[in-house]
Amino acid sequence: MIRIKSFVCNPYQENTYVLYDDTGAAAIVDPGMYGAHEEKQFSDFIRAEGLKPELLLNTHCHIDHVLGNRYVYDTYGLLPQFHEGELPLLVEVQNYAPQMGIRYDVSPIAETFLPATGSVAFGQRELALIFAPGHSPAHLCFYSEADGFLVGGDVLFRNSIGRTDLPGGNHQQLLDSIAHQLYTLPDDTLVYPGHGPETTIGHEKKTNPFIRG
């Protein structure tokens, strides 16, 4: 069974997730920790639970989802894994962060990238890759069929969807991703979004004002 701990981080109120199994193996998804206080909360939890981080995953590379990449690398030796199509966004963060008054410790870059389909594994568990562009050019979601949840990044929120007015965004592409990649999952799939509270696929199909199932 995969357990999930969330942390609300940085000025953008981004959801950072730690996924861990019964062996203590852990995957860190979208680390947005900003400043010593948030970094300490994060590392204190990992230490208290006796976790062993094995994976660092980014759903996409907007600033609020990568602010903690350098800290995770420096602390646990993990390079971020994301789709290659997000690389231009990650590189651009170091250029615009100072203009926004955000301190940014430049993220390392891995030598390999995640594919659009396939899976990643940590400990005894596996996460399927779901390619869902639109909010960003090569956004990935991470799905556990066995445990019935999706770490969805900024694709689908509770009664909302990701914004598409940022560079690389495409509104119709986002709607298509939701309809064809996410709404095909079981209705009881729990969605852990990049911002705000959890939801389910079934709830959004029935009530989401932007796209109904």
Around 113, how many Cα atoms within 13 Å sit in the side-chain half-sphere?
15
Place of tokens 């009530």: 207
How far apart are alpha carbons 18 and 102 in whole angstroms?
24
Burial of 37 (0-12, 13-18, 19+ CB in 10 A): exposed
pLDDT band at 167 (very low <50, low <70, confident <90, very high): confident
Say yes or no to pLDDT of 177 above 90: yes
**Collapsed DSSP state (helix, strand, coil) of residue 15:** strand
pLDDT at position 59, please? 98
Closest by CA position to 113, among listed 76, 64, 61, 154: 61
pLDDT band at 161 (very low <50, low <70, confident <90, very high): very high
Question: Which two tokens mark 189?
Answer: 């799939």
Map residue 193 onto helix, strand or coil.
strand
Query: Mean pLDDT across the stretch 42-51?
Result: 98
Which band of pLDDT confidence, cut at 50, 70 and 90, is reported for residue 194?
Answer: very high
**pLDDT digit string (tens) for 60-103?**
999 999 999 999 999 999 999 999 999 999 999 999 999 999 99
Distance (Å, whole) CA 165 – CA 181: 21
Q: Which domains does the chain have, with CATH numbers?
A: 3-207 (3.60.15.10)
The DSSP H or E segment spanning 68 is none
**Percent of the chain whose pLDDT exceeds 70:** 100
Half-sphere exposure of 159 (CA within 13 A, CB side): 2
pLDDT of 5 above 90 = yes
Mean predicted lDDT score pLDDT of the chain: 97
pLDDT band of 44, cuts 50, 70, 90? very high
